[in-house]
């Protein structure tokens, strides 16, 4: 299995070796699009996708994602980054330049519920999630056999509020050792400390039910059933030190009715959770998200 996945990734890297992406945030003013387009033209690059958004054409914030093909990009990376700094300085941009063939490395954290983990690994196996997944970390051993069937190392680190600092020290050491770019919390039922969050700022993606704040805490589906809810939802967001209040990436819902029992609500919740999380992870992996304050712009 792992050999087939590696072959798909190698083919993808070969096909995208000349492809780059730029994400831009700055104050809106005339000439931004023209300057970026002229820059790419001067460097023999062809724009293949461009999206932009302004909060207010008269003095608002401007956001842009542009994808391009540039012949010989592998040998011109440093030059492109160096030359673009002049434009970025002129427009006072916050910007990031990505090279598509350099696959991001994601670590998945999971506890006992495996539906989101399964969805992520199946998308990864079939080539729809083009990233490297060097390891899965869990505070339980339930996922070990499933994860290792994909040829991915599984690391069991027991974690609780009593040993949280020690567990996170082990986790961060592993993430550094494996050169991890971002972390996916696939129903990882532990609260992360500010130290951990700051180590991967805007690079930790979480999933939870969308009852918050109405049914925060334990047994949300039981209390939702008692209230007779008509919608089951899920939210994926970036993790911040404010619990479950980070910038929202994606949300979705599924309708339920009076015939559905608690287990039906949970089943529907799992269906929505796994699809929402996969979309959020793919968008992050494809450099489609710009965080602005506690909101996101998703191109």
Please tell me the predicted confidence (pLDDT) of residue 244.
Answer: 85
Q: Cis link prior to 213 (omega < 30° from 0)?
A: yes
How many domains, the chain? 2
Select which of 142, 244, 252, 264 is catalytic: 244
- Tell which residue, 128, 129, 130, 136, has the closest CA to residue 108: 136
Count of residues making up the chain: 299
37 CB-contact burial (10 Å; exposed 0-12 / middle 13-18 / buried 19+): middle
Q: What does 152-211 look like in DSSP terms, one character per residue?
A: --EEE----TTTHHHHHHHHHHHHHHTT--EEEESS--SPPPHHHHHHTTT-EEEEEETT
Residue 42 corresponds to which tokens in the numbers above? 């001067």
67 within domain boundaries: yes
Could you say which of 54, 75, 99 is where a domain stops? 99
Tell me, yes or no, whether 22 and 124 share the same domain: no
Same domain, 173 and 248: yes
> Does one domain contain both 145 and 291?
yes
Q: Where are the alpha helices (DSSP H) in 43-96?
A: 77-90
- pTM, two decimal places: 0.95
Token digits for 18?
A: 């000349």
Residues 64 and 161 in one domain: no
Residues 6+ apart with CB under 8 A from 254: 231, 232, 233, 268, 271, 272
Is residue 244 annotated as a catalytic residue, yes or no?
A: yes
Written as tens digits, the pLDDT of the chain (299 aa) is 778 898 999 999 999 999 999 999 999 999 999 999 999 999 999 999 999 999 987 789 999 999 999 999 999 999 999 999 999 999 999 999 999 999 999 999 999 999 999 999 999 999 999 999 999 999 999 999 999 999 999 999 999 888 999 999 999 999 999 999 999 999 999 999 999 999 999 999 999 999 877 887 788 999 999 999 999 999 999 999 988 889 999 999 999 999 999 999 999 999 999 999 999 999 999 999 999 999 999 99
Q: Do 170 and 270 reside in the same domain of the chain?
A: yes
For residue 149, the model assigns a pLDDT of 96
Domain that holds residue 55: 17-99
For residue 5, is it within any domain? no
- pLDDT of 75: 95
Shared domain for 78 and 114, answered yes or no, is no
């Amino acid at each position: 299995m792992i050999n087939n996945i590696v072959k798909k990734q190698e083919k993808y890297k070969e096909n995208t070796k000349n492809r780059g992406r730029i994400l831009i945030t700055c104050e809106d003013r005339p000439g931004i699009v023209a300057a970026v387009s002229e820059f790419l033209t001067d460097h023999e690059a062809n724009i293949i996708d461009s999206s932009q958004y302004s909060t207010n054409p008269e003095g608002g914030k401007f956001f842009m994602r542009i994808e391009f093909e540039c012949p010989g990009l592998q040998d011109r990376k440093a030059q492109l980054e160096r030359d673009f700094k002049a434009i970025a300085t002129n427009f006072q941009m916050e910007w990031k330049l990505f090279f598509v063939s350099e696959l991001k490395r994601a670590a998945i954290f999971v506890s006992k519920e495996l539906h989101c983990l399964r969805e992520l690994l199946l998308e990864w196996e079939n080539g729809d999630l083009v990233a490297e997944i060097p390891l899965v970390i869990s505070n339980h051993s339930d996922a070990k056999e499933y994860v290792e069937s994909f040829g991915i190392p599984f690391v069991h680190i027991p974690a609780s509020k009593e040993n949280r600092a020690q567990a996170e020290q082990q986790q961060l050491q592993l993430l550094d050792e494996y050169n991890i770019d971002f972390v996916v919390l696939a129903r990882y039922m532990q609260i992360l400390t500010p130290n951990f969050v700051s180590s991967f700022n805007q690079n930790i993606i979480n999933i939870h039910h969308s009852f918050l704040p109405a049914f925060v805490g334990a047994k949300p589906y039981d209390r939702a059933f008692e209230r007779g809810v008509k919608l089951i939802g899920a939210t994926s967001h970036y993790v911040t030190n404010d619990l479950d209040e980070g910038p929202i990436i994606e949300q979705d819902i599924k309708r339920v009715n009076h015939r559905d029992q608690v287990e039906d609500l949970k089943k529907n919740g799992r269906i929505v959770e796994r699809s929402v999380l996969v979309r959020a992870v793919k968008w992050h992996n494809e450099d489609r998200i710009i965080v602005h304050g506690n909101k996101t712009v998703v191109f």
